[in-house]
Amino acid sequence: MKNINIKGLARELNLSVSTISKALNDSYEISKETKHRVIETAERLHYVPNPYASSLRGRRSKNIGVVVPEVADSFFSLAINGIESVAQKEGYHVLICLTHERFENEKNILKQFQGGRVDGVLLSVSRETSNSDHINNLISNGLPLVFFDRVCEDVDTAKITTNDFESGYTATEHLIQQNCRKIAFLSISKSLSISNKRLEGYLEALHDYKIKPNKRDIISCTNDADLNYKLILKLLSQKDKANGIVATVEKLTGPVYKACEELKLKIPEDVKFLCFSNLETASILNPSLTTITQPAFEMGKTAATLLFKALEKPDFNLTKESLVIPSELLIRKSTA
């Protein structure tokens, strides 16, 4: 049983191909009665239009591309949920592409998109991304693109972010108020703007409370879980070591807990710890984990909504539409 196409429908109904097409697209040129007949027959024969044939003639492929570093991460999987919720409503499909935090992969994926595979792009850049030529290329090629969470400051398009600076500040301030004076900061990237903003918030908080930052305690983590674990072990093995830790990425939770266990350090008695995280299990960890929780679903949803506005009206100006959705400090026992 081969798939029926518009030509088959035409034969079936003794109408021309163009009439069928217009009827299905509810054109004013076609009479109510004919439309009715066409639609009825189309359903009866399970006709489904080939989206790519349509996409050739100026119309849309009805695919959007979502480019993220990884999917096994609460933030990104929730954001994807948000994106998908609006894509589904708009009749669009979602192409998920993973960069695995590699700049090379990101470049290749975006280059592929030049070919017309997708109508628009939602992007959260890799931790290695510091140059944005590949993104500007895509945009100047006419593809609308909206950043979410991890943005390139120098690309002129909509960016949906959270209040990273303030969150970094709030996190640090919370630890200070819990009597930490030596606070370590675990960053994920030197080039990523969210990482830098959180770091700036951390530094500003230290400054406001007259605490001297210690370079030794600001650690740039890698994409290698083992190595990160060793860095954390080393951090917590120093004498005069930190008694508070701010981690900027969910993946570091396990390594920190394990390192503390290994070194027989008690959380929160010996070290207080909080993490930027959307982990659902934060509240049932041992001890329960204080988090800065980002509005992941909301951010995905907002970014997608904006992208679809641009897809509907090609003259929609994305450059004026950036938005910041605040994160939330959820205090639990790891900083008690």
Binding site residues, a copy of itself, CB under 8 A: 1-3, 46, 48-53, 55-56, 61, 63, 70-74, 77-78, 80-81, 84, 88, 93-98, 105, 111-112, 114-117, 137, 140-142, 253-254, 257-258, 279-281, 283-288
Nearest approach, Cβ of 55 to a copy of itself (angstroms)?
5
For 119, counting Cβ atoms within 10 Å of its Cβ (0-12 exposed, 13-18 middle, 19+ buried), the class is: buried
Helix (H) or strand (E) segment spanning residue 293: strand 290-293
How distant, in Å, are the alpha carbons of 4, 33, 72 from that of 130? Answer: 48, 59, 23
Q: Are 52 and 61 in contact (CB under 8 A)?
A: yes
Nearest approach, Cβ of 32 to DNA (angstroms)?
7
Residue 301 gets the label, from left (phi > 0), alpha (psi -120 to 50) or beta, of alpha
Name the binder of 146 from a copy of itself, DNA, none, CB < 5-8 A by kind: none
Binding mask 196-215 for DNA (x = CB under 7 A): --------------------
C-alpha dihedral sign at 48, 53, 59, 64: positive
Q: Are 146 and 68 in contact (CB under 8 A)?
A: no
Q: Are 239 and 306 in contact (CB under 8 A)?
A: no
**Residue from the set 43, 46, 58, 226 that interacts with DNA by CB under 7 A:** 58
Nearest approach, Cβ of 201 to a copy of itself (angstroms)?
26
Between 117 and 332, CB nearer to DNA? 117
Query: Using CB under 7 A, which of the segments 49-57, 175-183, 254-262, 301-309 binds DNA?
Result: 49-57
Binding mask 28-47 for DNA (x = CB under 7 A): -xxx-xx------------x
